[in-house]
């Protein structure tokens, strides 16, 4: 793997084995207490955003020609897949940026990187940290640019005053006036938490920020949670990590679902439907539901197909979109069976967000974005070394990152209405 230094310029051909026109970029920033907006700007020869359709970010996940799109590599906060041969000649460079959405400055970054991958393998990395910056709110991390008929990369690592809107203006784009968000949505979620679960009020505030960012504040949906309860997860349960998952996800369920219920399943060799988690029973859910996790009859090998089938059967006839968050620590072996079930489930109003925590060998889950044969892309995956390694704001952003894209595609295909 090549280590790229700040300010270094080098041809892409030196980073990738063989000719490569498909460049996978992974981006990650740790240590900030607020959300980060990542974007890729497609600029012309004057380094201006002459066509705003070539700004790729959470609210515009793909260019019209499909040359650049949001695609998150496993282990990264976000990422972009850049098919350089599809870019129109008018696009001279791609600039990758990060902007703080809220309080904080870039000097608070604990660690961060921009890395290149080829066929899922990291081949080069540009690393940075807070001491590299001052009190800036945004960063221009790096850029791919044309020179003498070839593509090159420059590790910019430059701080920038102002947030995402200031970056857009800097590149010559126009910032549309943001539509006012009805206060009722935010207040109702926080009021529900304040009245029935005051411990979760802070989580509700952070969830609301992500819901607004991804334009999901008016979306009605059901939320399900699937918990790996195989033997290797024992420490995650005993240390309270799984209880934290329940508490972090409940605000999403309360927001999306009028019943305020988080449907829950646990699985190991068998699958078990647990009582829904609610504001009334969440506080010690893992130790109390069905007499607690030690009495669920789990902690053996993992059998993902069994629980996927149960979830499909449960939601098969729903008329609402469904967000299923599937937590696993890896050890996935039934790849063929899982793949077939998810392909068949693509016609149903279910989006599967798989989350790896503290494990390895995620098998087919790491290849969901490229899985062929589906009516719509109905799955996402990201992995975390530890739940404590990511703040709630960033977690909500990652959990909700692909859901709006699926909703739009599913509506076009008539899967949801």
50 pLDDT higher than 90: no
The model's confidence at residue 319, banded by pLDDT at 50, 70 and 90, is confident
pLDDT at 89 > cutoff 60: yes
Lowest-pLDDT range of 100-114, 267-281, 360-374: 360-374
pLDDT digits (tens, 9 = 90+) for 116-158: 998 888 999 999 999 988 888 999 999 999 998 899 999 999 8
Give 337-371 pLDDT, tens digit per residue: 998 999 999 999 999 999 888 777 788 788 776 78
CATH T-level assignment (fold) for domain 183-412: Rossmann fold (3.40.50)
What integer is the mean pLDDT of 323-340?
87
- The answer to whether 182 touches 44, Cβ cutoff 8 Å, is no
Sign, Cα dihedral of 390, 391, 396, 397: negative
pLDDT for position 208 = 84
How large is the C-alpha radius of gyration of the chain? 22
Average pLDDT over residues 97-105: 86
Range with the poorest average pLDDT among 15-29, 240-254, 267-281, 337-351: 15-29
pLDDT at residue 192 in the model:
66
Contact in structure between 96 and 90 (CB atoms under 8 Å):
no
E-strand spans in 31-92?
35-43, 55-56, 68-70, 78-83
CB 10 within 8 A of CB 152: yes
pLDDT at 183: 41
pLDDT bin (cut points 50, 70, 90) of residue 16 is confident
**What Cα–Cα distance (Å) separates residue 118 from each residue in 1, 22, 393?**
11, 8, 29
pLDDT of residue 206: 84
Position 270 pLDDT exceeds 50: yes
- More confident: 165 or 224: 224
More confident call, 3 vs 186: 3
Mean pLDDT rounded to a whole number for the chain: 87
Residue ranges, comma separated, of all CATH 3.40.50.410 domains in the chain are: 183-412
pLDDT at residue number 358: 75
Instruction: Characterize 308-321 residue by residue with b for buried, 16 or more Cβ atoms within 10 angstroms of its Cβ, and e for exposed.
Output: bebbbebbeeeeeb
What local confidence, expressed as pLDDT, does residue 345 receive?
93
Of 259, 301, 298, nearest in space to 279 by CA: 259
Mean pLDDT score, 371-390: 82
Mean pLDDT to the nearest integer, 314-324: 89
CA distances to 37, 158, 170, 347, 367 from 49, in Å? 18, 19, 9, 38, 33
Q: Checking DSSP bridges between strand 262-267 and strand 222-228, what pairing results, if any?
A: parallel
Percent of the chain with pLDDT over 70: 92
Assign 181 a pLDDT band (cuts: 50, 70, 90).
Answer: very low
Distance CA 282, CA 277 (A): 6
User: pLDDT-derived band of residue 70, with 50, 70 and 90 as boundaries?
Assistant: very high
pLDDT at 177: 46
Burial 57-87 (b: 16+ CB within 10 A, else e): bbeebbbeeebbbbbbbbbbbbbbbbebeeb
- The CATH 2.60.60.30 portion of the chain extends over 2-170
Beta-strand ranges (E) seen in 189-244 are 222-228
At 185 the pLDDT is 41
Segment 90-115 shows an average pLDDT of 92
* Six token digits for residue 90: 């008018």
Q: Return the pLDDT at 178.
A: 42
Report the pLDDT value the prediction gives residue 163, as an integer from 0 to 100.
Answer: 80
Residue 336 has pLDDT above 70, yes or no: yes
Q: For position 2, what pLDDT does the model report?
A: 87
Cα dihedral across residues 293, 327, 320, 216: positive or negative = positive
Q: How far apart are CA 224 and CA 326, in angstroms?
A: 8
Percent of the chain with pLDDT over 90: 46
Strand, coil or helix: 158: strand
Class for the domain spanning 2-170: mainly beta
pTM for the predicted model, two decimal places:
0.59
pLDDT tens digits, one per residue of 191-216:
667 767 788 888 888 888 888 888 88
Rounded CA gap, 98 and 140, in Å? 7
Judged by DSSP in three states, 286 sits in helix
Distance CA 126, CA 281 (A): 46
Q: Is the pLDDT of residue 102 over 80?
A: no
């Amino acid at each position: 793997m090549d280590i790229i230094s700040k300010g270094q310029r080098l041809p892409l051909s030196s980073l990738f084995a063989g000719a490569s026109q498909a460049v996978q970029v992974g981006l990650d920033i740790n240590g900030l207490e607020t959300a980060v907006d990542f974007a890729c700007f497609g600029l012309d020869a004057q380094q201006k955003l002459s066509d705003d359709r070539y700004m790729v970010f959470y609210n515009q996940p793909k260019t019209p020609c499909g040359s650049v799109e949001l695609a998150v590599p496993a282990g990264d906060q976000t990422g972009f897949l850049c098919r350089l041969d599809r870019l129109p000649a008018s696009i001279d460079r791609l600039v990758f940026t990060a902007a703080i959405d809220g309080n904080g400055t870039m000097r608070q970054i604990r660690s961060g990187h921009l890395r290149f991958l080829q066929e899922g393998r990291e081949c080069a990395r540009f690393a940075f940290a807070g001491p590299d910056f001052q009190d800036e709110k945004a960063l221009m991390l790096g850029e791919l640019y044309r020179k003498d008929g070839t593509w090159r990369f420059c590790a910019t690592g430059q701080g920038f005053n102002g947030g995402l809107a200031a970056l857009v203006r800097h590149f010559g784009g126009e910032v549309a006036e943001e539509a006012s968000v009805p206060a009722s949505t935010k207040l109702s979620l926080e009021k529900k938490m304040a009245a029935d679960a005051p411990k979760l009020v802070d989580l509700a505030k952070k969830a609301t920020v992500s819901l607004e960012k991804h334009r999901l504040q008016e979306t009605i949906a059901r939320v399900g949670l699937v918990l790996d309860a195989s033997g290797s997860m024992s420490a995650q349960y005993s240390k309270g990590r799984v209880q934290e998952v329940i508490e972090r996800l409940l605000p999403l369920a309360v927001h999306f679902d009028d019943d305020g219920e988080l449907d829950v399943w646990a699985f190991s060799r068998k699958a078990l439907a647990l009582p829904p988690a609610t504001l009334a029973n969440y506080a010690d859910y893992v130790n109390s539901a069905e007499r607690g996790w030690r009495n669920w009859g789990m902690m053996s090998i993992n059998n993902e197909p069994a629980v996927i089938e149960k979830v499909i059967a449960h939601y098969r006839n729903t008329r609402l979109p469904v967000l299923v968050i599937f937590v696993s620590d890896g050890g996935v072996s039934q790849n063929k069976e899982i793949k077939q079930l998810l392909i068949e489930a693509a016609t149903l109003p279910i989006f599967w967000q798989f989350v790896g925590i503290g494990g390895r060998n995620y098998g087919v889950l790491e290849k969901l974005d490229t899985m062929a044969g589906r009516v719509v892309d109905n799955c996402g995956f990201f992995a975390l070394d530890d739940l404590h390694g990511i703040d709630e704001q960033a977690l909500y952003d990652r959990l909700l990152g692909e859901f709006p894209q699926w909703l739009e595609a599913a509506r076009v295909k008539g899967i949801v209405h």
